[in-house]
Amino acid sequence: MRHLLLALTLVPAAVQAAPVLVPLSRGIELRTQALADPASADLVVQSRLLTAKYGIRCVAGDAFGPKSPMVAGAACEAHDASGMTYEIKVTSVNTVSVALEVRQTGTLAQAPQRTPFEVLPTDPEVGVLARYQMTDYSIDGSPVSSTFASLVLRSDGSYSFGERRGRWSMVQGLLLLDGEYTAWGTGAVSDDARRLTFRAKGPRFTVSAALEWMDPKVALSQASR
């Protein structure tokens, strides 16, 4: 199985880690860790997102892309204009700014990392870790009656939710889905991995979602009908 979370091994470097407080919608130059205009910055802090024009990733083995979800405790890697790689650790997030630790690093070690979903029965479909069905969805505490497709988590770090596709990762024991479901925030995983609970308070309303594990044999049987 490809390991899903980054475990970063640092080598000696001239740039040492130092907390940098970056206001939302501002950027930093990774080499100097100085605040910079977003148009010229290597890394830009946005609401719930980190964007990097030279590439960023927060899941080991992924290709570097232009953006990644921002969650406190996440460890990511980003490039600057010269191609140098930096470790970016999000130490805290509030409504106006984000605290980052930045280190220059030359190597990325992928240490074995277990996921909470390995306790579940093996899915007969190769590469699938778990399937979940929505059991409760509410906005500001009011239940919403709607039919949701099942959430499928795969061992390569990808997920599908009906027609939606994206990447998932574990941050400090919590499940994070990228794409539009980043707005759900991080999801708590029960000890037996059979229940996921999301709750996120946005600027206009609070969203809550609960999903239950689906027996893969039942899920595949229903899909074949």
CATH assignment at residue 219: 2.40.128
Q: Say if residue 122 is in the same domain as residue 100.
A: no
| Pairing of the two strands 164-171 and 128-139 | unpaired
CA distance 38 to 67: 14
Last residue of a domain, one of 104, 128, 163: 104
Q: Say if residue 122 is in the same domain as residue 82.
A: no
pTM of the model: 0.57
* Residue 71 domain-assigned (yes or no): yes
Q: Say if residue 50 is in the same domain as residue 149.
A: no
Q: Say if residue 134 is in the same domain as residue 159.
A: yes
CA dihedral 178, 184, 186, 189 (to 10 degrees): -110
Report which secondary-structure segment, H or E, holds 224: helix 216-224
pLDDT tens-digit readout, 154-165: 988 889 998 888
pLDDT tens-digit readout, 3-37: 333 433 333 333 445 578 899 999 999 988 889 89
Give the domain extent around 194.
116-224
Q: Say if residue 126 is in the same domain as residue 196.
A: yes
Q: Say if residue 56 is in the same domain as residue 141.
A: no
pLDDT at 61: 64
Show the tokens assigned to 7: 């475990």
Q: Say if residue 128 is in the same domain as residue 200.
A: yes
Q: Say if residue 132 is in the same domain as residue 177.
A: yes
Last residue of a domain, one of 60, 76, 104: 104
Last residue of a domain, one of 104, 139, 155: 104
* φ/ψ of residue 214, rounded to 5: -110, 130
pLDDT tens-digit readout, 76-135: 888 888 888 888 888 888 888 898 999 887 444 444 457 899 899 999 898 899 999 999
Q: Which residue has the tokens 């070690």?
A: 109
Q: Say if residue 173 is in the same domain as residue 97.
A: no
Number of domain units in the chain: 2
Angle of CA points 62, 188, 120, to nearest 5°: 75
Q: Which residue has the higher pLDDT, 168 or 214?
A: 214
DSSP letters spanning 80-144? -TT--EEEEEEEEE-SSEEEEEEEE-S---------GGGGSPPPSSTTEEEEEEEEEEEETTEE-
